[in-house]
Structure 1
């Protein structure tokens, strides 16, 4: 059944040179050819976007309608579909880094509630996804598969029970950055967290982890780890960008680094973003690169020209086609690598469940 669900299906989004939403602009004939190829590819291998912060934005505006385009936020269903997005990881991280642990837990639970309400409000467009099969099934039904997470590792507060409670609520990704059990290397409790995440098929998100901690986490996890939104530190030494050392650790662990669309981290143009995607692929390998734009914010956050909202995805794919990327490698970038990481995590979980109980 899983193999059948993984088969390419009909288009899940109306993508194409004439359906690129608010970013639609005339293009030269050669560019139109690449855009048409990009649209065709995305109709079969849509984007599995590793990061969108819309849930936090909607928490501030709970009655905002994402079924229609609105200049007040950069993400809505029409632009997700115009960009060929078939799966979305909805970030549940909170911007209140200095908040007390109980406030972080409260904020996270409220965001889970907002996210679940979002799924119920738009059932024809968004489908809660818990497994890799759900990812494929949502695509085949014309919905955007919606994964919950990451949640902050700080929310666990020395409790594996809290981790299992988040799993029961549908969360499938945890970000250890800033958690006392992973800040200066994994503590004994930190090792137990990673083992339990492996048993539950929850992904470890290394976003924001320093190099030493990231490499240690990648080595400690039996399942592939991800970095849900990042860029190459070798091209831009921004503190949020990932070093080649970490990319090599990801490659060895079968992990996935998902490139963001953020001017401060990538540069101010589509070409600059493509440079980061190229570099991550060169170091982490074709199976180690994905896309995690980190859309979902209110207008004003600097974005690279041509990639100011999800409708710009076909432009990036067209640029990579022009750079000589094969359609096979592009299908891994957009969809295949995310699906493979989820499947590998589930395989690891089945093996761990035979060895370890809750």
Structure 2
């Protein structure tokens, strides 16, 4: 295992704002004061980012020090703070396809171990979040709340014990995509999985699910579902982008579609990313749009200009302010919607547990 358990390292907090990190990628000029307004908004309503793959990157290159902006990866604590990130969902998926279910489980446990080691190494900046109160508490203490997941649904075959074990380790999101129990309609076991995630207050992440499966899962779950890393298929018909049909289903179920900064999904400019955010808001509603950039790679990964690392978030918020977004909707986009779906999942779990007693 990578040596992620060195003595804790601390770094001074970085003010939210455009700063110098990634400044060479600044897009077209914004209205005067827009960046200042964006920074002010993010200081109160920080970004809850739905997707970061740093855990996998650290497994491959374990000696990056994310306490400095020269770490060799696009995600580090100074850039997260400069971008106003207050909560991060750390993806535990791996890009490789393991042949056997037990290998998928082993890979996932390794991912969890690296994620927890990351928090032990940087306790003054990162802290594990298990619920909505933890998200708020971390924000109030100036730390970045760390929400673990998703884990792959392929880890579950014919037993829910693995799901409960992941939950006990701190995982709070499950991704059904690619799982036999969700590929061509929910099987009987698939319905059990949905009920158990609801009981455990775990979110279902429908990223990568075909539209029909996504709509069925959204309807079957009593708690809101999320799509942590996507964009609008109406603007770019990429297979990982979400259709308007699914966006409408998410809106009806009070779910959350989190827009990616992957150039293959959104295009190569900040303006294009803002177009996708606009579209999701227009179709699903302002209560159902969030941000899931997909940072966490080594430097050089293609990103939209102006959004090459987490420090670019104020520029995106400034662009949306320029487009006339009310600050109330921006507060939902950055923080409010993510906190709501986590809290609603907890309410659903309490109701389920009450019915069982």
TM-score, length basis structure 2: 0.94
Q: Which residue of 2 aligns with 1:167?
A: 167
Q: Which residue of 1 aligns with 2:272?
A: 272
Change over 3 Å in CA distance of 1:50–1:20 after alignment to 2: farther
CA distance in 2, matches of 1:13, 1:326: 26
Whether the aligned pair in 2 keeps the contact of 1:13 and 1:142 (CA below 8 Å) is no
Helix, strand or coil: the match of 1:146? strand
Q: Which residue of 1 aligns with 2:142?
A: 142
Helix, strand or coil: the match of 2:64? coil
CA distance in 1, matches of 2:144, 2:14: 9
Post-superposition offset of 1:26: 7.5
Q: Which residue of 1 aligns with 2:59?
A: 59
Change over 3 Å in CA distance of 1:300–1:99 after alignment to 2: farther
Whether the aligned pair in 1 keeps the contact of 2:230 and 2:240 (CA below 8 Å) is yes
Whether the aligned pair in 2 keeps the contact of 1:199 and 1:356 (CA below 8 Å) is no
Deviations 1:59-81 (A, max 9, x none): 11222210001262110000000
Q: Which residue of 1 aligns with 2:316?
A: 316
Q: Which residue of 2 aligns with 1:204?
A: 204
Whether 1:235 aligns to 2:235 is: yes
Q: Which residue of 1 aligns with 2:158?
A: 158
Helix, strand or coil: the match of 1:297? coil
Whether the aligned pair in 2 keeps the contact of 1:71 and 1:299 (CA below 8 Å) is no
Q: Which residue of 2 aligns with 1:3?
A: none
Helix, strand or coil: the match of 2:307? coil
Q: How many residues align?
A: 345
CA distance in 1, matches of 2:296, 2:350: 34
Whether 1:341 aligns to 2:341 is: yes
RMSD value over aligned CA atoms?
A: 1.5
Helix, strand or coil: the match of 2:33? helix
- For structure 1, the 5+ residue unaligned runs are 1-11
TM-score, length basis structure 1: 0.94
Change over 3 Å in CA distance of 1:240–1:30 after alignment to 2: closer
Deviations 1:228-282 (A, max 9, x none): 0000000000011000000000001000000000111101100000000000000
CA distance in 2, matches of 1:27, 1:175: 34
Whether 1:21 aligns to 2:21 is: yes
CA distance in 1, matches of 2:194, 2:280: 25
CA distance in 1, matches of 2:346, 2:38: 30
Change over 3 Å in CA distance of 1:268–1:328 after alignment to 2: same
CA distance in 2, matches of 1:220, 1:140: 35
Whether the aligned pair in 2 keeps the contact of 1:34 and 1:321 (CA below 8 Å) is yes
